[in-house]
Structure 1
Amino acid sequence: MTPYQLSIAALLRHGAAIHADSVVRCYDGERVERCTYADVVADAARLAAGLESLGLGPGDRIGVGLWNTREHLAAFLAIPAMGATIHTVNPRLSAEQLTFVLADAEDRLLVLDATMLPAFAGVDLGPVEHVVVVGGVDDAAHAALAALDRPWTPHGALVDGRPETYEWRDGDELDVATLCYTTGTTGEPKGAAYTQRHVVLHSLGECSANTLAISRDDVVMPISPMFHVNAWGLPYTAWLAGADLVLTGRHVQGEHLIRLIEQERPTVAAGVPTILADVLRCGEGRALDLSSLRLLMSGGSPVPRAVVEQFDRRWGVPVTQALGMTENGLLALARPPAGADREEAIGWRSRTGRVIAGVEVRAVAEDGTPLPADGESAGELEVRGWWVVGSYWNGRGADRFRDGWLRTGDVGTVDRSGWIEISDRLKDVIKSGGEWISSVAVEAAAMEHPAVAEAAVIAVPDERWFERPLVCVALRDGARLSPGELRAFLAERLQSWWLPERVAFVAAVPKTSVGKFDKKALRRQLQDGELEIELTRSASDAPARP
C-alpha cells in the first residue's frame, strides 16, 4: 500500500476546498485590501502556469525576495505544490552573501519586489536565468535591473490571463519544499532544506492546543518577514487551520503595527524583540486597544522581561518567548503553567520555553555526553525532531550534526518537564577567571533600566581575568545614565563577579539582517577602536567567584 504523502499540494487543496472564504488582509502602508483563500489559490495557479512557461518545473530552485504580501503567499503555496523548491531570499544579506546563496542554491529564477532591487547592486546572479519583478518599476529600478544583466518580466505579464486552476503535484513527501539560509554571522550562510513532510508536520505542531492552538477562529499576523524562517511557519499553519491572515507588507514599524492591530484585530502575532520595543515606544502614553491579541510571540533573541511586563501592564497583551532556529522552526514556547498568577505568568513568559511535542532537546558536555535533565547541568543544547533538518544544503556545516542531533550552539539547561533555559550562545559566552558569564543575563538586566533602550554584551581582553564583559548601551531619547549608575543598578540584579567594569554608550546597537543584535559588528568596532569605553570601576578589582 502506498502511503498518503504529506505535501504542500494537499495543504493547498485543503485550504481551497474547506476554507475558501477565509480572508487574507494585505496592508500597503495606507490601506488594507482583502482577498479570499479562493483568490490566492487562483493566484497560485496562474503563477505556476507562468513559471512553467519559463521552463521551470519539479526539482528546480526558485529564489523569492518579497515582503509579506499576497504575491509572496501565492508563491509560498504554488512553487512547492508544483514540485519545485522555493528559496526565500533575504535582501538584507550583504552583496557577497547574496551572491553566495544564489549560487549555492542554484536558483534558476529570481522573483523580486521592485523595492528590493537596490539591495542587489553588486550581486552576481550566477545561475539565475531570468528575473520576475513584482510592483512598479521606476527609473532607479530600471537602472538596477540593467546592472543585473538578466532578462526580466513584470509579475503581471507573467501571470495575467493564465488559467485559475492547476493540477498540483503531491510528489514525494521527502522532496525539498523550502530552502532557508542562515544569516551567516559565524561564516558563510548555510541552507536549511525543509522537506514537504517537515512543513506539514510543523504546521500541525503549531496548531496543537499545547502550542499556538491556531484555528479558523483566529486572525494571524506574521510580523517577521516571510523570507526569515518562513515567518516561523505561520503562513502555512494559518492556511492549514483556515485562519484569516494579516500581511504587513514591508510596514513593520511600531506605528503601522499599532494601526493594524487596532483595525484588523489579530489574535496571534509574532515578531522579534526590537520590533516589539518599537511598538512600546510608539504607544507610550497612549490609550490603545490591543486586546484582540491572545498571543504575541517574541523570538529570534531573548525578550527582555521589561518588554513582557510593559505589554502586560499597559494593554494586557501576553508577550510570550518562543524558541526556534532557521534549521528547525518552532522548538519551545514559554506558556505559563496552570494556576500561575499574573506576576508569576510574566516571569514564566520571559523564560526560554518548554519543548513542544515533536521535538527532543538535550544538553551535552563538551565531549558530547548527555547531561542530566535536572535544570542545573549546563551544556550545549542539541535538538532532533519531526521538522528538524538533518543536514544543510550541499552537505555544508556537517560538524553541526552529531548522531542525528543538531548542535544549536546555545548553552543552557533542560529540566525533567522539558523547560529549557538558555544562558548564552557558545560564541558569546564570556570566560572570565575560569568561569562563564552569561552575556544574555547581563543584557536582560541592563535593559530593565528605564533609561536603556538596547544593551548588548561582548567580551574584552583582561590581563587578570583573561576576559571581562563590556556592555554596549543605547539610551532612550533624552535619557541620561552614568557608568556608575548603571553598575549600581546591575549590582541589585547580578552576581558580583558578573558586574561589568566597562561600558560603551552607542547611538544604536547594530542589528543583523533579521533584527538580532550583531555582536560580530560590535567586536569589529571594538577591534577598530570605534567604541568609546568608560569605566564603572577598576577591572583589576573585579571580584573572583566565591
Structure 2
Amino acid sequence: MQGLMMEQPLLVASLLVHAERHHGAQEIVSRRVEGDIHRYRYRDLAQRARRMANALAGLGVQPGERVATLAWNGYRHMEVYFAASGSGAVLHTLNPRLHVEQLAYIIDHAEDRVVFFDLTFLPLIESVASRVKSAQIFVAMTDRANMPETHSLSTKLLCYEDLIDANSDVFDWPLLDENSASSLCYTSGTTGNPKGVLYSHRSTVLHTYAAALPDSLNCSARDSILPVVPMFHVNAWGLPYIACMVGAKLVFPGPALDGESLYELIETEQVTLSAGVPTVWQGLLAHVDALGRAFSSMRRTVIGGAPCPTAMAAAFQERHGVDVLHAWGMTELSPVGTVCSLKAHQLTLPQADRYAVQAKQGRAVFGIDMKIAGPDGEELPWDGNATGDLLVRGPWVTRQYFGCDDESPLRDGWFPTGDVAKIDRDGFMQITDRSKDVIKSGGEWISSVEIENVAYLHPKVTAAVCIGARHSKWDERPLLVVVKKPDSALTQDELLAFFDGRVAKWWTPDAVVFVESVPYGATGKVLKHRLREQFADYFLPN
C-alpha cells in the first residue's frame, strides 16, 4: 500500500520562496567590492533573483546549461545562486584561487555559457577569456557607474545592474524534477585535472535540512550568520541555503577577510554564528586579543577545511565564550559529513578530555553513513583504536563525477574519501592520515604531484618530492625536497622563481631542501612518509 501524502519536489527555489513568504523582512547585509555596506531584505533578494532569472532566459541560457560565478560572498552572488538553479540552469561556482590554466580547463569542461564575476577578478577573467571556448558572455557584478572603462575581453562586457533593471520581477519558478542538476563545484585537482561534482535539487535541499539541525550547525531565525567560508567553496558549506530555510539574518564579508574587518562586521551586525577555516580565525583572534576586545554577540563558530588546533578552540571558548563546532566534509559530500557536537555525558568531562573530543572531526549528521575499512575491505570496529580507509554514503554524496559517465569512484556503493580515520564508541570520527599525498594549506588542497611535475621541468633537477610540513599559521605548507643534477649550482631562489606563472602563487613551495638522494620502495615509488617524518617540523620554530 502506498502512502497518501502530497508529492512536491524538493527544489532550490522553494528555499527562496519560503524565505520571501515567511521571513521577507529579515535583513541581508553585504560589504561590497565597491567598498560600502549594502542592506536589503529577503523579499528584495527574491524579487531581484526573479529579474535575473528573466535576464538569463534573455541571454539564451537553456535548462541544464551551466552559469558560472567568480565572486566573493555578497548579495549579488546569492541572487545568481537562485536565479540559475531555480530557473533550471546549473550554478557553477569557480574558485579564484586556482591557477588560470586550471580555471580555463574547468570552464571549458563544464561548458559554461555565462560567467558572472566581481570587479576584483577582472584581470583574472581577462587572462581566462582568451583561453576558453565555451564562455562567450561575461557579466561584471556591479552597477553602471563602476563598470571598467577599458578591458581586453574580445566580447562585450555586460553590466549586472543593467540586466536587473531591464527585466521584470514576474517569473514563475518552474516545477523541475528534483533529481535534475542544480549546481556544480569542482575539486581542486589534487591528482590530475579537477573533477566536477554535480549536485541535484533533492540532494541540496536534504543537505540543507541536515546541516541546519541542532546537532549540526544549529541554525535558526534568531541567528545572524556570517559565512566567511567562500560561496565559491562548496556553496559556503550550505549556509546561504540554510539561512533561507530557517530565516536567519545573513552577513556577507565580501573581499575583506582580515581580522579587523571581520570583527567590525561581527560587532556591528551582532553576528551570532560564523564559519570558516582555521587560518581566518587566527587573524581574527590575533586582532581581538591584541586590542583587548571581546565578542558581544557571537556564540558559535564552525571551523572546518583543516583540523582545528586545540589552542584555537580553547581561545574561543575559555577567553571569549564562543563555542567551537569542529566539522568535516568534502566537495563530494555537498560538503557536510560530520560535526563535533558534544553529547550530554561529554559536557561534564574534565577540560583536557573535552578538548580531546573536540579535536575529532565529530559524528555523522543524519543522512550520512560512514565506516572504516581495512586493506582487504572488511569493516573495522568503532573502538577508537582501529584505523582504516574512511568511506561514506548518503543522499548528498556523489556517485559519479561530472563528465565521467563510464566510471564510478564508488566501492560497493560507498564513496572512498581518501582519508584514513578511526571512530570511537560514541561515533566520533577522527582523521589520522591521508591516503593521497596532498597538502592542505589554509583549508585548501595543494597537489604535490603538480608541484613535482613543475620542478622536474627544471634542467638542473634530477629528483623532486613535494611534501606538506607543519606550519603554525597555514596548518601545512609545501616543502620541496630536491636532488640536483651533478655539478649543478641550483639555488633555492632560482628554483622557486621557476614556479612563477606555472602554478598559483599560494601553491609555490615555501622552501627547498637539497639532498643527496630520496628514499625509494621496492616497487620504485618514493617513500614520502619517510620524508614527511624527517621534515615534519621544518617550518616550525626550533
- 1:264 correspondence with 2:269: yes
Cα distance between partner residues in 1 of 2:24 and 2:371: 42
Cα distance between partner residues in 1 of 2:169 and 2:231: 24
What residue in structure 2 maps to residue 333 of structure 1?
A: 339
Partner of 2:116, secondary structure, is strand
Cα distance between partner residues in 1 of 2:284 and 2:29: 20
Instruction: Give the CA RMSD over aligned residues.
Output: 3.3
| Alignment TM-score, normalising by the size of structure 2 | 0.78
Query: Which of the numbers 364, 373, 376 marks the counterpart of 1:367?
Result: 376
Over 3 Å counting, the alpha-carbon distance change for 1:138 and 1:185 in structure 2 is: farther
Pairing 1:87-486 to 2, within 5 Å after superposition = 87-123=92-128, 124-135=131-142, 145-146=151-152, 148-328=153-333, 329-338=335-344, 339-341=347-349, 343=351, 344-395=353-404, 398=407, 400-428=409-437, 471=469, 473=471
Q: Deviations over 1:145-204 (max 9, x none)?
A: 42x322321111211142123100130011110101111122211111110001100111
Contact between 1:20 and 1:36, CA under 8 Å: does it hold in 2? Answer: yes
Partner of 2:403, secondary structure, is helix
What residue in structure 2 maps to residue 54 of structure 1?
A: 59
Query: Which of the numbers 17, 22, 33 marks the counterpart of 2:26?
Result: 22
Partner of 1:166, secondary structure, is coil
Residue 403 of structure 1 and its aligned partner are, at CA, apart by: 1.9
Residue 470 of structure 1 and its aligned partner are, at CA, apart by: 7.9
Residue 118 of structure 1 and its aligned partner are, at CA, apart by: 1.2
Partner of 1:383, secondary structure, is strand
Letter in 1 for 2:279: T
What residue in structure 2 maps to residue 12 of structure 1?
A: 16
| Alignment TM-score, normalising by the size of structure 1 | 0.78
Over 3 Å counting, the alpha-carbon distance change for 1:475 and 1:387 in structure 2 is: closer
Larger deviation, residues 64-73 vs 114-123: 114-123
What residue in structure 1 maps to residue 525 of structure 2?
A: none
Contact between 2:89 and 2:182, CA under 8 Å: does it hold in 1? Answer: yes
Q: Deviations over 1:319-368 (max 9, x none)?
A: 22110111111111112222335724433322211111110111112333
- 1:80 correspondence with 2:81: no
Q: Deviations over 1:117-149 (max 9, x none)?
A: 112343212201211111268999555x42x32
Contact between 2:279 and 2:473, CA under 8 Å: does it hold in 1? Answer: no
Larger deviation, residues 281-290 vs 354-363: 281-290
Identity %: 33
Residue 57 of structure 1 and its aligned partner are, at CA, apart by: 2.9
Contact between 1:90 and 1:227, CA under 8 Å: does it hold in 2? Answer: yes
Over 3 Å counting, the alpha-carbon distance change for 1:526 and 1:174 in structure 2 is: farther
Partner of 2:172, secondary structure, is coil
Cα distance between partner residues in 2 of 1:528 and 1:89: 38
Over 3 Å counting, the alpha-carbon distance change for 1:294 and 1:284 in structure 2 is: closer
What residue in structure 2 maps to residue 453 of structure 1?
A: none
Contact between 1:175 and 1:196, CA under 8 Å: does it hold in 2? Answer: yes
Over 3 Å counting, the alpha-carbon distance change for 1:471 and 1:41 in structure 2 is: closer
Contact between 1:291 and 1:316, CA under 8 Å: does it hold in 2? Answer: no
Cα distance between partner residues in 2 of 1:102 and 1:138: 29
Cα distance between partner residues in 2 of 1:107 and 1:525: 38
Q: Deviations over 1:266-305 (max 9, x none)?
A: 1111000110111122222323231422220111111111
Residue 22 of structure 1 and its aligned partner are, at CA, apart by: 1.0
Q: Deviations over 1:217-254 (max 9, x none)?
A: 11111101101000000000010111110011111111
Cα distance between partner residues in 1 of 2:249 and 2:279: 25
Contact between 2:72 and 2:231, CA under 8 Å: does it hold in 1? Answer: yes
Larger deviation, residues 149-158 vs 281-290: 281-290
Contact between 1:361 and 1:414, CA under 8 Å: does it hold in 2? Answer: no
Cα distance between partner residues in 2 of 1:473 and 1:302: 12
Letter in 2 for 1:422: I
Q: Deviations over 1:55-90 (max 9, x none)?
A: 113111101111111101111111111011000011
Letter in 2 for 1:332: T
Contact between 2:217 and 2:325, CA under 8 Å: does it hold in 1? Answer: no
Cα distance between partner residues in 2 of 1:292 and 1:342: 27
**Unmatched tracts of structure 1, length 5 or more:** 430-438, 448-455, 460-466, 477-503, 505-515, 530-537, 540-546
Partner of 2:127, secondary structure, is coil
Cα distance between partner residues in 2 of 1:31 and 1:96: 33
Pairing 1:498-513 to 2, within 5 Å after superposition = none
Contact between 1:61 and 1:87, CA under 8 Å: does it hold in 2? Answer: yes
Letter in 2 for 1:86: L
Contact between 1:47 and 1:78, CA under 8 Å: does it hold in 2? Answer: yes
Over 3 Å counting, the alpha-carbon distance change for 1:469 and 1:113 in structure 2 is: closer
